[in-house]
Amino acid sequence: MRIIRIFDTTLRDGEQSPGASMNVDEKIQVAKQLVRLGVDIIEAGFPIASPGDFEAVKRISSEVKGAVIAGLARAKEEDIKRAWEAVRGAPKKRIHTFHSTSDIHLKYQFRVSREEALKRSVEMVGLARSFVKDVEFSPMDATRTEIGYLLDVVEAVVEAGASTVNIPDTVGYTTPAEFGAMIKAIKDRIGDRAVISVHCHNDLGLAVANSLAAVANGAGQVECTVNGIGERAGNCSMEEVVMALKTRKDFYRAETKINTKEIIRTSRLVTRITGIPVQPNKAIVGANAFAHESGIHQDGLLKEKMTYEIIRPEEIGLHHTELVLGKHSGRHAFKARLKELGYELSPEEVETAFRKFKHLADQKKDIFDEDIETLVSEEVSKIPETYSLVDLSVKSGLKVKPAATLKLKINDRVVEKTARGDGPVDAAYKAIASVTKTKSDLLKFEVKSITGGTDALGEVMVSLEEDGKKVRGQGADTDIIVAAAKAYVNALNKLAVRRRHDRASS
């Protein structure tokens, strides 16, 4: 049985989804979860893209153990040296460099000849190889590259020291049959001298199908993202390709090292941090993926689950959560549950999360794992607070003009303000904007229930823009108005951090 390596690029290509950028602490949180998930390689970022990206890759390299940490670099000397500086602290490290090979890119974007592109690719692979043993090369836009030239480039970079050759379907153009044939031709040319990887985009909805066709024809690594996030229509979905290989092991004769029971937890973490929701009917991790409404289906399931479920929900970590903690639970039980859920927190983080848990337990009848995960995510992702919500009360009704009275702590002083609005959330937001003297625009407002029941923990996500800077804010509470206020304040704190960073950089 062949082992297919999973190269996760959620922190690099996934982060390039509009509005999905993460701060350094959020990236580290996702990276640690990817290790628990069992991915082989984590592409931590594009070090030369920004100081923040460099810092993220560098910290992940030093703080996250258990996977190969890769940094992306164009086929340029300064990029490769920057990537080396970022990943050098990792126990297992990789430099991933790339250069376009399609005539379309070479003519219109790079304005270089095929010969020059090949020469530069070989030279930069050699440079990367002088820093690390593990070098990956990608001929960008490979699926629109003339096959003879592509084979020449692939063989040349392998001879120069590339241990992995990644074949990207950069614009999601190919189809399973032709991509499979392309991978077979490359396999015939280079044999086992290097691992063949694939990186498929989903512009035609074929990213997973193309990746699986590549595996069937000799690819040994699949590049993918959690929830399939990424530029434009996204990337190959990690959870879909992994479960396809696991479920149809009889056909592909291949498997991964992924701990599939961590899939749901990973999916939810990425959703919370990026603010990008998963569509309900998405395969594997969608809310409806294991929901059955048809009477015929329900009848079959009651008799034998395999009649209509080819994957057991438990295989991906989806199960009916039970009440394991309540308002009478102590710190020891809470810490034990955190450990079961895979969290490693500092004593200070545990204490803060525990206080929030006890407050929630007083408000909520049933405490679910999802509730605890949300509380912990809030604590771990916490940013420096310029503003913090002290108290909020609202008045609203059919014949009452909605009003919100707010107490907000700004640095070390508490300010109180009452404002009216079109609704309770609008009134709360106007009060916050007045007190903080900010002029940000609210671009997006989303509300969802984390668990079931009328006492469900509600989560609000907002997107704000101020002076061209866009940020996401998140807040959770059983009172949805309070959750909305928390989300808005969280976003304003992120804007404050951005402003301080800009001032320090200027």
More confident residue, 62 or 336: 62
174 domain-assigned: yes
Tokens read off for 498: 């951005």
**Helix, strand, or coil here: 160?**
helix
Q: Which amino acid is at 390?
A: V
Residues 169 and 298 in one domain: no
| Cβ pair 18, 49 in contact under 8 A | no
Residues 335 and 397 in one domain: no
Find the helix or strand (DSSP H, E) in which 471 lies: strand 469-477
Residues 360 and 391 in one domain: no
pLDDT at residue number 307: 66
Residues 234 and 112 in one domain: yes
pLDDT band at 305 (very low <50, low <70, confident <90, very high): low
Q: Mean pLDDT lowest for which of 78-92, 457-471, 483-497?
A: 457-471
Instruction: Give the Cα separation of 34 and 10 in Å (integer).
Output: 9
Instruction: Give the Cα separation of 143 and 407 in Å (integer).
Output: 58
pLDDT at residue number 247: 96
Positive or negative: CA dihedral 37, 42, 46, 47: positive
430 domain-assigned: yes
Q: Is residue 257's pLDDT more than 80?
A: yes
More confident residue, 204 or 15: 204
The number of beta carbons lying within 10 Å of the beta carbon of residue 174 is: 27
pLDDT at residue number 250: 95
**Helix, strand, or coil here: 29?**
helix
Q: Which amino acid is at 426?
A: D
324 domain-assigned: no
The string of DSSP codes covering 391-453 is: EEEEEEETTEEEEEEEEEEETTEEEEEEEE-SSHHHHHHHHHHHHHT---EEEEEEEEESSSS
Nearest-5° Cα angle at 171, 169 to 175: 55
Mean pLDDT of 300-314: 67
Instruction: Give the Cα separation of 217 and 50 in Å (integer).
Output: 37
Q: How much is the pTM? A: 0.77
> Average pLDDT over the chain, rounded to whole?
88
Q: Is residue 65's pLDDT more than 90?
A: yes
- b/e map of 35-66 (b: 16 or more CB within 10 Å)? bbbbbbbbbbbbbbbeeebbbbbbbbbeebeb
pLDDT at residue number 458: 80
Residues 453 and 338 in one domain: no
Instruction: Give the Cα separation of 416 and 435 in Å (integer).
Output: 8
Q: Is residue 418's pLDDT more than 90?
A: yes
Residue 22 exposed, middle or buried by CB count within 10 Å (0-12, 13-18, 19+):
buried
Residues 258 and 336 in one domain: no
As a residue count, the chain comes to 506
Residues 57 and 132 in one domain: yes
pLDDT at residue number 338: 79
CATH of the domain at 158: 3.20.20.70
Residue 67's contacts (CB-CB under 8 Å, 6 or more residues apart) are: 34, 35, 39, 40, 41, 42, 92
Dihedral pair phi/psi, residue 395, rounded to 5° = -125, 130
pLDDT at residue number 306: 64
pLDDT at residue number 321: 43
150-207 pLDDT, tens digit each:
999 999 999 999 999 999 999 999 999 999 999 999 999 999 999 999 999 999 999 9
310-324 pLDDT, tens digit each:
788 888 887 644 445
| Cβ pair 211, 175 in contact under 8 A | no
Greatest mean pLDDT among 12-21, 100-109, 294-303, 360-369:
100-109
Instruction: Give the Cα separation of 127 and 138 in Å (integer).
Output: 15
| Secondary structure letter of residue 457 according to DSSP | P
Q: Is residue 294's pLDDT more than 50?
A: no
CATH of the domain at 394: 3.30.160.270
- Strand-pair partners of 70: 43, 94
If you search the block for the tokens 């909605």, which residue do you land on?
402
Report the relative pairing of strands 441-449 and 254-255 from DSSP bridges: unpaired
Instruction: Give the Cα separation of 441 and 470 in Å (integer).
Output: 9
pLDDT at residue number 288: 77
281 domain-assigned: no
Look at the chain and report how many structural domains it folds into: 4
Residues 375 and 394 in one domain: no
Mean pLDDT of 98-107: 96
Mean pLDDT of 438-467: 81
pLDDT at residue number 299: 53
Mean pLDDT of 6-14: 95
Share of the chain above pLDDT 70, in %: 91
326 domain-assigned: no
279 domain-assigned: no
30-58 pLDDT, tens digit each:
999 999 999 999 999 999 999 989 999 99
Instruction: Give the Cα separation of 174 and 215 in Å (integer).
Output: 15
Which whole-number Å values give the CA distances from 487 to 311, 372, 462, 504, in the listed order? 36, 18, 6, 26
Residues 304 and 265 in one domain: no
The number of beta carbons lying within 10 Å of the beta carbon of residue 401 is: 11
Residues 160 and 43 in one domain: yes
More confident residue, 87 or 321: 87
Spatial CA neighbour of 221 closest among 185, 187, 264: 187
459 domain-assigned: yes
**Helix, strand, or coil here: 43?**
strand
| Cβ pair 51, 77 in contact under 8 A | no
Residues 39 and 65 in one domain: yes
| Cβ pair 240, 247 in contact under 8 A | no
Domain that holds residue 457: 387-505
123 domain-assigned: yes
Residues 362 and 391 in one domain: no
pLDDT at residue number 403: 93
pLDDT at residue number 37: 97
Mean pLDDT of 66-77: 98
